[in-house]
């Protein structure tokens, strides 16, 4: 049948709002994958954006889903459209419109909502509008019904909190609280790399590689592939990672650069400079400079101002396990405590700016003047708009010094112990690995939240036929969706990152690594047993689980957790209601 050209306007709306949906998935959902890495200072915002661009693209294009369920997760039966291609096209445009608008509002408000729950709720609303209240599958239905969706609100955070807390307690008592934590971090590092590699491999096999058919391998081959991958990564860590980190944290060789990592065993014989120890070889990963959680006020009320909070928490060293052992270390610690005072730059005079920037003369639309406007006015504005999101200081946004929120954050962060900075540095590598793997699996699997409905819209519009049980996703759709997704993270992902991370609790590389690992384990097990979970809910639950391991309830921002949970519930109620009402109004409107 021919293309439904009478519905070209619907197809245009579908393209617009699928693009917006993918953009907001990047700004909201992808930000979840890198929020802990940025919050712990393991990655800068710009590094996180580059990593997401690489791994989201790789996951989406190389191993992403090539077939999308026409009716997402079987929430509503496919026969409710009764063979009417126009009604199906209208319904999916309606669903993606409501989902994208809600994600836009939620991201603006700083709610880390579930993008999966958003599109599922929108399609459930479509089912109600077309087939009545009984059309959606309200039961469990093998993990595909709405009952399972509601159950995931509790199951996902609880499972992630349990797994993350177990992993963190292992790291804490095996490494962090030992007499020489840096030495133990180096000794156990290859083991942790092996564990991370095994979990990441399982994540790709079970959740992120449907087009490769890896989940169809026999259990024996799957186990062998997972263990072999873990062993190889652990061996590579012992050969390359161990000597590099040893040179940084033990030899205090501040001349080591990232490219020296590939020298591997040759670094064992590399001599450190004579003044090694006089300056830090690694950057400062501490969120607070000198707060001691043992001297917090014992009342449950937070101080009224940031100044009173600072008085209530006297200065102390950030880690009792990192005692200064020699003058060189003392000097390095002193340098770390000294605030950086940038040199004052001479102000550029107005005359110098006028001389440097050509001025508009004569007719404004003359070619020379148009070039000046584009080169010196429009181009800098566009570049600033594009690059702002990847260069914004997340930690400065979270600080808000001088406000009551800052005082509350001071109490929350003060209730969490900070450990040796060199030890935390060792865990940054593992955290980056878990973040990149989460991004790869997300691109392979969750990009279909936007591209899946678009494939249905495109198929219905192009062939004039209602899409069947499954619709094919072409490679150009994945490339287009991944581009919008990465652009969303790069330009607006900082808003969600500022809400997550250190707004919930104090995050360090060791904590962030265990949070992401616990969330990944939860997603793997849930997908194997058919339990629908959201990566947003998993990382939030894992954050709370690790925070509770501080042994002080004040180390968790429970008000923020309650706000996030309201956003999850609101997604289901608001999106489903809006989708059902809007479509019902359109299809039942009087015809003139």
Q: Where are the domains of the chain?
A: 5-178+423-587
Cα–Cα distance, 157 to 574 (Å, whole number) = 21
- Among 193, 83, 139, 80, residue whose Cα is nearest residue 580: 80
Please report which helix (H) or strand (E) contains residue 470, including its range.
Answer: strand 470-472
In whole angstroms, how far apart are CA 410 and each of 97, 113, 256, 517, 544?
41, 26, 34, 27, 17
DSSP state letters, 476-539: HHHHHHHHHHHHHHHHHTHHHHHHSGGGTS---HHHHHHHHHHHHHHHHHHHHTT----HHHHH
Q: What's the pTM?
A: 0.79
pLDDT value of position 304: 39
pLDDT for the residue numbered 199:
85
pLDDT < 50 positions in the chain: 70, 291-355
What is the predicted pLDDT for the residue at 292?
A: 44
What is the per-residue pLDDT for 306? 38
Closest CA relative to residue 43, chosen from 387, 395, 337: 395
CA distance 537 to 526: 12
Give the tens place of pLDDT for each residue, 330-342: 444 444 444 444 4
Q: Which residues contact 493 (CB under 8 A, 6 or more apart)?
A: 26, 27, 28, 30, 31, 34, 48, 49, 389
Phi/psi for 447 (5° steps) reads -65, -25
Residue ranges of the alpha helices (H) in 216-326? 219-236, 242-249, 306-312
User: Using an 8 Å Cβ cutoff, are 306 and 403 in contact?
Assistant: yes
Residue 528: both structure tokens together: 């194997």
Distance CA 123, CA 100 (A): 13
- pLDDT per residue over 406-425, tens digit each? 788 888 888 888 999 999 99
CA 232, 234, 240: angle at the middle one, nearest 5?
Answer: 100
């Amino acid at each position: 049948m021919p293309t439904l050209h009478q519905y070209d306007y619907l197809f245009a709306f579908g393209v617009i709002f699928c693009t917006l949906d993918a953009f907001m998935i990047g700004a909201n959902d992808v930000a979840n994958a890198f929020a802990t890495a940025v919050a712990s200072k393991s990655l800068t915002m710009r590094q996180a954006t580059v990593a997401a661009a690489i791994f989201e693209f790789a996951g989406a294009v190389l191993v992403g889903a090539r077939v999308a369920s026409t009716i997402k997760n079987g929430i509503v039966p496919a026969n409710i459209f009764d063979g009417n291609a126009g009604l199906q096209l209208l319904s999916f445009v309606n669903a993606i419109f409501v989902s994208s608008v809600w994600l836009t509002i939620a991201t603006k408000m700083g709610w880390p909502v579930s993008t999966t729950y958003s599109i599922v709720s929108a399609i459930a609303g479509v089912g109600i509008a077309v087939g009545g209240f009984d059309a959606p599958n309200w039961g469990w239905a093998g993990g595909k019904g709405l009952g399972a969706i509601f159950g995931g609100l509790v199951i996902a955070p609880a499972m992630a909190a349990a797994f993350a807390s177990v992993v963190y307690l292992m790291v804490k008592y095996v490494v962090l609280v030992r007499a020489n934590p840096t030495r133990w971090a180096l000794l156990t590092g290859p083991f942790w790399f092996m564990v991370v590699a095994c979990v990441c491999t399982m994540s790709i096999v079970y959740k992120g590689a449907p087009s490769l058919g890896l989940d169809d391998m026999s259990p024996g081959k799957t186990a062998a592939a997972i263990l072999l991958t873990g062993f190889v990564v652990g061996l590579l860590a012992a050969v390359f990672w161990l000597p590099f980190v040893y040179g940084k944290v033990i030899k205090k060789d501040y001349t080591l650069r990232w490219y020296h990592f590939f020298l591997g065993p040759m670094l064992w014989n590399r001599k450190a400079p004579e003044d090694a120890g006089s300056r830090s070889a690694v950057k400062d990963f501490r969120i607070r400079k000198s707060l001691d959680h043992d001297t917090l006020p014992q009342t449950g009320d937070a101080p009224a101002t940031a100044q009173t909070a600072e008085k209530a928490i006297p200065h102390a060293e950030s880690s009792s396990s990192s005692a200064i052992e020699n003058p060189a270390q003392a000097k390095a610690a002193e340098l770390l405590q000294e605030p950086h005072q940038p040199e004052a730059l001479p102000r550029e005079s107005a005359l110098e700016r006028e001389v440097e920037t050509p001025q508009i003369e004569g007719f404004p639309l003359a070619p020379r003047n148009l070039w000046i406007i584009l080169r010196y006015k429009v181009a800098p504005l566009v570049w600033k708009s594009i690059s702002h999101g990847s260069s914004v200081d997340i930690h400065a946004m979270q600080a808000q010094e001088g406000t009551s929120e800052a005082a509350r954050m001071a109490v929350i962060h003060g209730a969490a112990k900070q450990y040796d900075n060199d030890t935390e540095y060792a865990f940054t590598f593992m955290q980056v690995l878990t973040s990149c793997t989460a991004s790869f699996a997300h691109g392979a699997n969750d990009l279909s939240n936007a591209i899946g409905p678009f494939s249905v819209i495109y198929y219905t519009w192009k062939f004039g036929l209602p899409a069947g049980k499954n619709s094919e996703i072409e490679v150009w759709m994945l490339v287009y969706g991944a581009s919008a997704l990465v652009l969303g993270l790069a330009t607006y992902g900082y808003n969600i990152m500022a809400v997550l991370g250190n707004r919930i609790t104090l995050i360090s590389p060791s904590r962030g690594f265990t949070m992401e690992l616990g969330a990944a384990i939860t997603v793997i097990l849930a997908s194997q047993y058919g339990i629908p979970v959201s990566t947003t809910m998993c990382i939030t639950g894992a954050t709370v689980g690790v925070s509770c391991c501080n042994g002080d309830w004040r180390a968790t921002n429970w008000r923020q957790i309650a706000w996030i949970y309201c956003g999850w519930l609101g997604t289901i109620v608001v999106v489903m209601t809006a989708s059902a009402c809007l479509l019902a109004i359109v299809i039942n409107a009087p015809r003139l």
